[in-house]
Structure 1
């Protein structure tokens, strides 16, 4: 296509993973399965935490919020991709693209904030156990989550406004399976200096800042654990952090992998495939990591389904 400036564009083309038609049914089934597992698994975490009063603690409060955000995170991108595959279309309207980008940024930033807050929660629990209930009181927990939502909403709103001021070329092919912020900026024909500066500032402030906070929290946790005299005490203290540390490692390693892959190659399919790791694989694995390693979650789910079975039996009487 010829390049040109067009401020009245109405739609983009999401290029997705492959142009080969025979692969589309396989891609559809693969991503539909992963999406359903993600939604169902994270819903189980939310149901388990909400149904068991013993799990009404700061750690599980943050975990249930993370599960909710992960459901929303994947739901901003995967359903539209599946719909396009099913209808044999690559089109997404300009309005849909902006809305998808807006919500994607919200939930991506919320993931970062919640992982940081959960690291702080484990830091207080391990390093200041006697003051834990005082410091991590219900009011502070709600304020931390509320502040995370407000900052994510404001950040996404600002980024979206920066994109809305851009004019786009007539070549409107997005080399991705969703409207990713960086890809949108690269398509613009107008000056993107402010957009690039804003994205770099956000990456440093949010990504590097949160990761620094997480590393600091866990460095203090590790030093406190090694200071315990009891081997059982060290094991118990580390086991409470293992699930969260696994998710943090998975999230940041996959995000870094996507960044390095994008820097190393210009292939649209390659970049899209790499992005699947943090947009779908990480949210899908979160429930497995927590449920397989966490006896409290498994007990709560057994109690929940046990109560559901009893109620179902009573309804037939």
Structure 2
């Protein structure tokens, strides 16, 4: 297990380094931030002086080495626009984004997995047909469209929930439901497919022949074997929910990192763009590392193969 952990941690660190290079280079392809930071009447000499002050005149490898050295010291930079450390700009926004993504993922699990199990147990039944239809709609409908419909119905017509804001459970309901629809549909499809294959396998048939009840077969045997792909999907989806919640955050005035990224891009604020991208990458890598460790714990064959 120690060797397995060492390999997984090493792989995670290499991934972080490669992504830091990719983020650093990609951000610098956006354009010259001096055109937004300085007024239109500024001269080229003014722009050049600002570039030198921001360290943008140095060769790109030198800029990256400075950037990487600062990262190792825990410094993700200072905003070019506000002059504040990027941690101050982004820090308060991380918790709202994680909260929204976690709530959406929990709703997806609560809706998608049980429905997928029911559909897998009776694939020709009415529940499966209705579930397949709803799942197709969920996969095809954008989150922002669902958000607008729910605002009209639950906030404007029924006046049950607020239209925007942050701070209470009521503010979380519509954004989380809007964001969870695609994940719930995907989890339904994944659970239905995986459970359907497992329920047709020989060891499940043997368990039924031995007289084990269908409920025990489903929850003690089939679901345990189907849990690995579900865990993998949830791990990747959590990061995608954080990164992809921009439209929902904007609609509801949710103070997440998606809004910070939009503001930074509109102002060519290199440092904040890099910081947001790196935080999202870090979340992906850490979550996948935890899933790898969980895999090794659940299935000894995986860790013994390394």
What is the TM-score when the length of structure 2 is the normalising length? 0.30
Larger of the two Rg values belongs to structure = 2
What is the TM-score when the length of structure 1 is the normalising length? 0.29
Higher strand share: 1
